[in-house]
């Protein structure tokens, strides 16, 4: 009689079996290991690859476009440095805070058209810097 280790729900137990059964069990286990090894040589799971450090490329990401966008953003930030403090405040209020131009114009004590002209000059100044 021989003892074999048998797994049940993640727990290993020792079972006493006949020699003939133990030999067949060892053959079955060896065959399963061989098949598993053969399959993992041909196919690997994505999870195993990622855990091993393999990086999967996102087909929807366009690195060139991301770099161009980042360069444009950097250039815009540099362009904003040439503006006066009043112009920077105006850009912040209109484009970042989303305040209405009529409200900003009233706050500054000017008409809306005068505010539009200021914004147009700011945009022209930024475009000139970026070109």
**What phi and psi, each to the nearest 5 degrees, are found at residue 5?**
-90, 130
- CA distances 23 to 15, 36, 100, Å, are 14, 20, 85
pLDDT (tens digit, 9 = 90+) per residue, 33-49? 888 777 666 666 777 77
Determine the structural domain holding residue 46 and report its residue range.
Answer: 2-51
Are 81 and 129 within 8 A, CB to CB? no
Within this chain, do residues 25 and 72 fall inside the same structural domain, yes or no? no
Please tell me the pTM assigned to this model.
0.49
pLDDT (tens digit, 9 = 90+) per residue, 85-131? 999 999 999 988 999 999 999 999 999 999 999 999 999 999 888 88
pLDDT of residue 70: 86
Are 44 and 52 within 8 A, CB to CB? no
Within this chain, do residues 86 and 35 fall inside the same structural domain, yes or no? no
Structure tokens at 101: 């131009």
Structurally, the chain folds into a number of domains equal to: 2
């Amino acid at each position: 009689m021989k003892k074999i280790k048998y797994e049940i729900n993640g727990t290993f137990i020792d079972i006493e079996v006949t020699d003939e059964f133990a030999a067949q069990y060892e053959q079955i286990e060896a065959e399963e290991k061989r098949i598993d090894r053969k399959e993992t040589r041909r196919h690997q799971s994505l999870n195993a690859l990622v855990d091993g450090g393999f990086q999967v490329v996102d087909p929807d990401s366009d690195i060139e476009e991301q770099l161009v966008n980042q360069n444009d953003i950097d250039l815009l930030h540099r362009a904003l440095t040439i503006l006066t403090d009043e112009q920077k405040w105006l850009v912040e209020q209109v484009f970042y805070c989303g305040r209405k131009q009529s409200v900003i114009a009233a706050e500054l004590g000017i008409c809306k058209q005068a505010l539009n002209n200021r914004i147009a000059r700011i945009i022209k100044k930024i475009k000139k810097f970026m070109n």
